[in-house]
Every structure is written in C-alpha cells, then in structure tokens.
Structure 1
Amino acid sequence: MQDSCFFTFNEPIDTNELPQQFTYPFYYTPHKLCIQALKQLQQFILAYPHWNHDFGIDHIVEGSNVGKMFGVLVVQNTANELGFLAAFSGKVGESQVHPHFVPPISNIMESGSFYRKGEDELKLINDTIYSIQQSDEYLQSVEIYKTVCSESETELGEYKQKIAANKLYRKSLRESISHTNNEPQLLQQLAKQSSDEHFAYKQLLTQCNKKIQDALARVQLFTKQIDELKLLRKQKSALLQQHIFDTYIFRNARGETANVRDIFATTEFGIPPAGAGDCAAPKLLQYAYTHNYTPIAMAEFWWGQSPKSEIRKHMHTYPSCKTKCEPILGFMLQGLDVEPNPITQKLAKHKVPEIVFEDDAILVVNKPADMLSVPGKIEAESVYSYFQAQYSMPLHMAHRLDMSTSGILIIAKTFDVYTNLQQQFSLRTVHKQYVAIVEGVVTQDSGTIRLPLRVDLDNRPSQMVCFAHGKPAITTWKVVERMQNVTRLHLYPHTGRTHQLRVHCAHSQGLNCAIRGDELYGTPADRLYLHAEHIRFEHPITKEHMSFRVECDF
C-alpha cells in the first residue's frame, strides 16, 4: 500500500548527486534536492483544499500564528526510490493532522484523547471559577466589604479630627485658667474628657473592625471556594502536562528511544518548553524512522505572513529553532552521518586581527569576519585571546562585534581606561559607522529605525522586536549606492543592542532587506556583509578626539 505522506518528485532528479552527509539543521544551505522538494511542496500548498486557514500571503491578516513554518525531508525508501516527506510546525486551522503531511509525534488534539478530556476538566473548573466571580452574591459581598471599609475609614477619620480639635481647645483652656482658684478641678475635668474621648475611639475602632471582619468573612466564603478550585486546576494541569510529556517519545537512527523529559533534563531549565516536539523537523525524522525511510537531506521554510516580532519572510528557508529543537534533534540525529557545524568550520582560524593604532592606553584593531570578539562556549580563539597572549598586563574589551561582523574594535590596556571607555559608550558619545550590503533595493535615501529588541527565548541568540518588553534600539541609515538587487548602506547605531543592525535591516518594520550573508535573519553567503568602518571617541588619557577608519573588503 502506497504511503500517502511519501511525495515522489514530479521532475527528474539526479541520483548521482546525493549529499554525502545529512543536513546540519541549525545552519545550512539547502541541497538542490531540498530546493526541488520545497518548490513542489509550495505548489501543493497553494492548491491544497483542506486548510481552513488564511496564511496572509498577499494581504494582512489580524492575529497571531498566521504564517507557518513548513519542512521537507528528502528520503529513500526500502526500494531505493527517492522522495520526500512534508510537515508543518504546530497546527494549521486548529488541527494537527492534515492528509499527506506527516502526523504529530503525539496527536493529543484528536477527539476523545486524554488531552481533550483533561482540557474539558480544566474548562469546567475555569467556568465554575468564572461563575462564582460573576455571581450576584459574590459581587454584592465584595461591594459591601468595600463600602464597610470606606465608611469605617471615614468615621474613624472624622472622630480623629474631632479628638484633635478638642485637644487644641483643651490646651487653650489650660492656658486661660492658669493660676485661678478652681484650676485643679478644671484640669481634672479636661483630663477626663481626653480619656473618655480616647476610650470612645477605641470602642469605635473595635466596632468598625468587627463590621469589616464580618463583611470580609462573607467574601471569604466565596474566595475560599475559588482558591480551592485554582489549586485543583493547578494540580490537574501539572498532571496533564506530565501525561503529555509521557506521550512524546522520540526515536533516532540507531533505533533508540527517549522521552522528552529525559532529553531536556540536562538543559538549562531542566524541563521541556511548551510546544517541544511539535516543530516540523522532529515530526519528519520521527516519521522516517518509524516507516523505514532513510533520511537524505532536510530544509524548512516560512509560508505566509511575517509575524510582527520575529523575522520570517514568505518562502525563505530557515534553520531549526534552538530552544525547542536543538536538544530533541541532538538525540534524533544520533546514528546519522551529519555535516559538521558550519559555524565552527567558518571561524577565521587562519586570519589574525590587525593593529590599527596602539599606545600605552589602548589598542585599536581590525577584526576579521568570522572571528569571535571574546572566547565562546566551544571556541577559545578570539580577538581577546589573540592579543592577551602577546601582552603581560590584563586586557579589557571595550566593546564587541558579532562573530560574523568585521571591523574596528577598541581594547583597553588598564581597567581605568576600560571604565572610561565604557562610560563613553554608555553616554552614547562614541560615534560609529558601519557599511553593509543588503538584499534588495532600498528606495528611500535615508531614515531612522526605532524598533525595541529583546532576545528570542525560543531561538537564542536571535533577537526579536518587542514593543512590550524590548530595550530601545535606534539606527540611522543612509544609502551609499544602489546596485542590481542589492543596496550599499551606511549604518549609524545610536544604541548597542545585540544584532541591532541585522534585525533593523531585515525586519518588515525596518528596511525589510536582510544584510547579505545573514544566516540568522536572511540567507547564508560567503560572509556577512557588515563591517564596522569608522569610530570616533575621546582618548581616555589625553582627552584627544580620536578617529579611525578601516575600509571594508567588499
């Protein structure tokens, strides 16, 4: 019986040019077989009748989760026939299952599943909580409590004012009756008045507190029920989540299996994030392993409207996400001969940074592209380590450039110099100019981009636009030259956020033109075409205005 999820290529393919190794999913250039599969799948998606979902391809659709990530996995079956499998991340049109696309790892959304039953139980609890909170009895008890508190506060306040006024009056009386014959008797009367007033205030305070406590007790009859229901909801939700985790069991090429909880146990947070295992890549590999298909190559692409925060462009290919997929794919790819991480392969091991200027206080250097500014988690070679090996005193990096970015860096030779430079960067008195080549023709001549940024928690180290929680990020830009399908720009960052220039160029609310060679926000190339060309600052010791320029090599 033919597998409905196995797509045969509708155009001739060259079986002699199969990749020697499987795709490294977190940084890749799609193999020609994947490109052919992508084009065929995209035509299939356009004609697909089952979606019941608007991807917002040629118009704006309000809401989230409009566009979707799709993936293809080129495979070979037991008859040595080549074809491909297709998948989408999450769900489309409120369904995880669509004909001809591989199913989810665990179809928890199907009717009658434990998840649906658990959802119904949680919904019943939520509905009960809501009905209590909206009931006339509860709302009336809350209003009575607020009224009693307000009236008690007013009554006690007014009585305090009366006591204060009487105290001033008694003080004036004491001064006027001084040295009169009946002074002792009058003073005794005034003291008794003061004592009576304070006693009366305590009685009033006791009465008010009792009324408040009685009103609060009526409210707590309801809040106790609500708190008990919330605790029950929390317990049931936790049990449901554990049950979900128990159904996500992944396979690898060795035939081994692992539970999603075990896979994430050694990660930073120790537990799977929401949606772990629902992305396209794990679904594709799982289906291949369970149906005796040999994985050949894989690629993922975005289909539809770009989200407002992340950088996703219609029909562009993207790497697998880090937070959700990296631990899972790290297990699932075991047993396959996978390409080495191109990031580590492209590190500028044979290039060295050049000294542009040096004195007793600072080093100004030109960093090569694909060299780290400071040592990384897996790569120790960096601009810092290169120069630190040559100097006896401890050096301090005044600022950093992305690994892929080339250009000017300042290194401080003392901590005081470092502190001074840091203050200049903090006060934004350091002037920086970058040169970049972006994909596409920028029609305007200049402008300023203001898009706040924060880290993409699901895909570190990528950054995303976030107006709610992002840090302010401002970039001024100017067109230098328009060429065929590309534009050369000067970029002037007023803030120093991670990946600021790259995101501001690529984002749909920025220039909507990714920097050439940007593997995170655009398309990989021989290098990232971004260079820190010019810097101007005040010398920390001499107070001279220092200015340096290093021309780019592109």
Structure 2
Amino acid sequence: MHLHMLTLFPETPAHGDIPAVMPSPFLNHPHPLAERAARMLQQRLSSAGDDMNRLLSTGTGKMFGVLVVRDQAGHIGYLSAFSGMARGSWHVPGFVPPVFDESLHQSFLPAGRAMLTKLTEQISQLESLPLRAQLGHQISQLQQQRQDAISALKQRHRSNKEQRKMQRLQLQAVACDEREQRMAALALASQHDKREATDTALAWEQRLDAIQQQLETIEQQLLDLKSSRSEQSRALHRQVFGAYRLHNFAGRQQTILHFFADSTPPAGSGDCAAPKLIHYANQHNLQPLAMAEFWWGPSPATGIRHHGHFYPACRGKCRPILPFMLEGIAVEKEPCFGAATHAGELEIIYEDPYLWVINKPAGLMSAPGKEVEDSVYSRLCQRHPEYPELRLVHRLDMGTSGLLLVAKQLRTHKQLQKQFIQHRVEKCYEALLSKVLPAEPAAGEINLPLRVDMDDRPRQMVCHMHGKPARTRWKIIAREQQTTRVHFYPLTGRTHQLRVHAAHRDGLNAAIVGDGLYGDSGKRMLLHARSLCFTHPVSRESLTFETAAPF
C-alpha cells in the first residue's frame, strides 16, 4: 500500500551509513543519509518537465521534508512531504497525505465555514450600513454645534458677570434701600445665567443622547456578532484539531488538542512536513531512520529561509508533538541549547570600582538560561560575592564574542542602561558574511522591524505591522573569495538584530558564517563586538574600548 509513496535509493545504503539511533529532528543539520534523500527530492523538484513541480510552483517557497525509513521487508528508502497545502490541495502524487481525518473534517467543516461566512457578511453589512455612517456624522455635527453654542453662551455669561461686578461697585454709593433691591436683582440675573447654562447643556445632551442611543444599538449588534463569530471560530478551530489524531510507535494515540491543553494550537499545527512523515510511517509499519527538512523556492518576506538550506523541525508547532509521535523507537536526545559549550575564560579589559568591561568568548551565554547555568553573569557572581548587586548592562548572543559591559552596583547599572536606552552608546561589530557582496554600495543602513517568531522561538522575524523598529548601519571592510567582512553599527538593540539584518532577503541577504539559526552551522558564529564607547557614570569621562576579532 505504501510502495507508491516510498522512493528507494538507487543503491542500497551500506550498513555503516544507516544510523543505529534516529537523530533528533531538532538538529540544525541532518544525518548524511537523510541529506542524501533530500538531495534526491531536490533533484526531482528541479526537474523542468515535472508536472508535480509545476503544481508546487506558486511563486513563494515552501518547506519540504524527507524521512528515511525501513519497511518490513528490509528495504530502505524515503518518504516525501511538504508543509501545509500545495496550490490549495492537500494531495500531490508522491507526497504523503495530511495527518487529519478528512472524512471527519468534511462532516463539520463546510457547515462551520458557512456559518463564519454568514456572520462575516452580517458584520460587513452592519459596518457599511448607511444609517450607521449618517448617525456618526450627525453626532459629530451636533457635538461641534454644542461646543460652539456653549462657548458662545459662556462668553455671554462672562460678559454679564463683568457687568454685574461693575454695577455692584457702582451701587456702593447708592442709598441702602435702593442698593439692596438692585443687588437682589443682580443676584437673580446671576442665578438666571446659571440655570440657562444648566438647561442648555441638558438640552444638547438630550439631543445627542437620542442619536447616540440609535448608534449604540447598531454598535452593540456589531459587538454581539463579532463575539459570536469569535466563539464559533474557536469552537471550529478545536473541532478541526480534534480530527488530528496522533499515533506513536508505542501504540498510544492522542489528539493535537492534548498537547496544547492550556491554549489553542497554533494555526498549521500538525501540517508541517515532519508530523506528516512520521504519521504516515507509523500507519504503514515503516521504521523511521533519519529525517531532513529544507526550504525550496524564494525566501519569505518575514522569516529567514534560504533556497535549498536545511532547517530543524519548528519548535512552536512541532516541538510539543514530535516527541510523543516518536515514542516507541530509539531517538537521540534533543540538543540542549548551550549545554555542551567549552568557552574560554573571561578576559577583563577594564575594571574600576563601578564597572567591568569584559571580552566575552564565543560559546558562553551572557546570562543563565533555563537549562544552562554557565554564563558571564554566573562566573562573575561566583568570583565576586562582594558585589551582590552586579548586573549585566546589555547582552551578547552565546555565539557572539567581544565587549560586554557589567555594572557592579544597581545605581551604576541604572545610569549605564539609561545611556543604552537613549542611544548614546556607540557599538561596532565585525562579522564575516557567507557571500561575496557587490562592491557597490559599500555601505548603507538596514531598517527592518523585528519580532519573535511565535511558532519557532527563539528565531526572530521581520514584521512591518507588529515588529519593533530595528536599524543597522553597515560597511564593507574586505571582500574575499567566498565571504565578505563587514562592520555593523546597531542603532537599536533588538534580539538577533544583526543576524537577521544580515541574513534576510531585504537586508544583506548573506547570513553570518557559522550562524546555525539563520544560515549554516559552523564551529562558531563569526560575529564579534569589537568596540564600545560610553560615558563613565561617575567621572563623566568618555571611554572607548576595542578588541580585535579573533577570526
């Protein structure tokens, strides 16, 4: 039954080429046998006359995956999958089908979508209702008229008040009886003005209230419809994911909802290539051996994906479910970020009673993580218990080497951080990029707003709608045979800013050498914080420090 999905290798892999234990799907680079299978699929995708390739060519790239498997007869081949849909279809010849139960989806999905469409149409009709616009316009006009009328009335009342004040002064020379009568008349006039102001405000309020009540009735209907649509959407969302029943090799099964008990599963959960491949292998008694996922086609406008590059399974949608799906077979332990580092010693560039300037080695975290304690902060705390208030003023990524500023007291920390917030600290980084950049322009500025990729933390992504401003000046220092050496001058300090601005298609489109998150892994990421200039928080002296890049 599975033979039309299983692609055999032209030559049976040697025993030594087959992994004894399945590598973790969260590795940055796949096992050589999985890479070999991926290259075969890529060759198929590159075939100009391939009908399947034309079907998948949508103008945007897509994530593909392969799973090397052994069938019950001992044959070794690979399964192919793509993430999501291909041109509106879940099914393409030669690629495994989706995980969900399609018949179950069809039992409720059309009716659910029809209900959402109907609610959306009702909302659209109410939002574009002529009466709604008319009422809003009338309210605006009345509010302006009320403001003008009340302003004119207040001006008249102020004038009346000034006249009464002058009259009271003039009455000081009038006989007592007459003065009392005329003073009483002035008091009545003052009370009349107050009543007129109150009555006028009330009259305008009543006129506005009558129209506002009509508008509020429409707005409440809109709120009720939108609330109903949200509830229907959430309920349909849960129904959809209830049809994703995941099986594992230990004989257990769960729906995707089980793994997102505290929240709604992210859109697309279960539709990535990895769960499709593992699910198909489980259902057809195929033993998973190794897996690889790669991006094929133009880079996306948001995240960092490059044509033909390999990527680990995503952490947002796949990390919660893949360990369960792989239960029952031997799988290597998922790599722990920063756990196996052998970073060198801290080099103290400068020290005084208020601060340190550290030359951080690559491979050492700035602050402790959830699973890794070793860091610049931890080492300094252990060596200097006499400074219980010491704090990092800023941070460098684990793979970045170079200058790091540390305050010994909270007051110093606050003063130095203020300089960073106000962009009064000058920083320069040196990096080696994985491509040869054109000679022109030799310098420039990148302005791409960034936010965290919620589906694949800790990756960052470009987002013009919700991202925080991120600006970087850059300058070419040297162009080599296959690389380019640049200086980066960050004008903002966003997470992974330089790495994303280097790798993104709208930035320099050249990942930093050794950056396994946004490019290809290496012994280390070739990014170095080479200079730092700031004002000393006590002496007010301008201090500049430099360290040469160790690459």
Query: Normalising by the residue count of structure 2, what TM-score does the alignment of the two structures yield?
Result: 0.87
**2:254 counterpart (247, 250, 258):** 258
Change (3 A) 1:350 1:369: closer
Is 1:76 equivalent to 2:73 in the alignment? Answer: no
Residue 97 of structure 1: aligned partner: 91
Residue 161 of structure 2: aligned partner: 167
**2:510 counterpart (506, 509, 513):** 513
The 8 Å contact of residues 251 and 286 in structure 1, kept in 2 or not, is answered as yes
Is 1:227 equivalent to 2:220 in the alignment? Answer: no
Change (3 A) 1:223 1:383: closer
1:22-33 mapped onto 2 (5 Å cutoff): 22-33=22-33
In structure 1, C-alpha distance between the alignment counterparts of 2:436 and 2:307, rounded to whole Å = 18
**2:233 counterpart (234, 237, 241):** 237
Is 1:408 equivalent to 2:403 in the alignment? Answer: yes
Residue 334 of structure 1: aligned partner: 327
In structure 1, C-alpha distance between the alignment counterparts of 2:296 and 2:142, rounded to whole Å = 59
Unpaired runs of 5+ residues, structure 2, are: none
Task: Tell which deviates more after alignment, 312-321 or 393-402.
Answer: 393-402
Residue 211 of structure 2: aligned partner: 215
In structure 1, C-alpha distance between the alignment counterparts of 2:98 and 2:446, rounded to whole Å = 40
* Aligned partner of residue 230 in structure 1, secondary structure: helix
The 8 Å contact of residues 339 and 371 in structure 2, kept in 1 or not, is answered as no
Residue 466 of structure 1: aligned partner: 463
**What residue identity is the alignment partner of 2:191?**
S
**What residue identity is the alignment partner of 1:76?**
R
**What residue identity is the alignment partner of 2:488?**
L
Residue 63 of structure 1: aligned partner: none
**What residue identity is the alignment partner of 2:84?**
G
Task: Tell which deviates more after alignment, 285-294 or 487-496.
Answer: 487-496
Unpaired runs of 5+ residues, structure 1, are: 57-65
Residue 4 of structure 2: aligned partner: 4
Task: Tell which deviates more after alignment, 304-313 or 474-483.
Answer: 474-483
1:87-486 mapped onto 2 (5 Å cutoff): 87-106=81-100, 112-180=106-174, 182-265=178-261, 270-344=263-337, 347-349=340-342, 351-358=344-351, 360-394=353-387, 395-444=390-439, 445-486=442-483
Change (3 A) 1:152 1:14: same
* Aligned partner of residue 290 in structure 2, secondary structure: strand
Change (3 A) 1:152 1:544: closer
**What residue identity is the alignment partner of 1:404?**
G
Task: Tell which deviates more after alignment, 116-125 or 255-264.
Answer: 255-264
The 8 Å contact of residues 8 and 77 in structure 2, kept in 1 or not, is answered as yes
Change (3 A) 1:343 1:553: farther
Q: How many residues align?
A: 542
Change (3 A) 1:218 1:478: closer
**1:489 counterpart (483, 486, 489):** 486
In structure 2, C-alpha distance between the alignment counterparts of 1:420 and 1:220, rounded to whole Å = 50
In structure 2, C-alpha distance between the alignment counterparts of 1:337 and 1:86, rounded to whole Å = 22
In structure 2, C-alpha distance between the alignment counterparts of 1:315 and 1:345, rounded to whole Å = 26
In structure 1, C-alpha distance between the alignment counterparts of 2:407 and 2:303, rounded to whole Å = 36
Residue 86 of structure 1: aligned partner: 80
Change (3 A) 1:505 1:152: closer
When the two chains are superposed, the root-mean-square deviation of aligned CA atoms in Å is 3.2
Change (3 A) 1:525 1:21: farther
In structure 2, C-alpha distance between the alignment counterparts of 1:451 and 1:231, rounded to whole Å = 35
- Identity of matched residues, %: 39
Change (3 A) 1:502 1:222: closer
Query: Normalising by the residue count of structure 1, what TM-score does the alignment of the two structures yield?
Result: 0.86
Change (3 A) 1:349 1:270: farther
The 8 Å contact of residues 281 and 287 in structure 2, kept in 1 or not, is answered as yes
In structure 2, C-alpha distance between the alignment counterparts of 1:69 and 1:298, rounded to whole Å = 13
**What residue identity is the alignment partner of 2:396?**
L
* Aligned partner of residue 318 in structure 1, secondary structure: coil
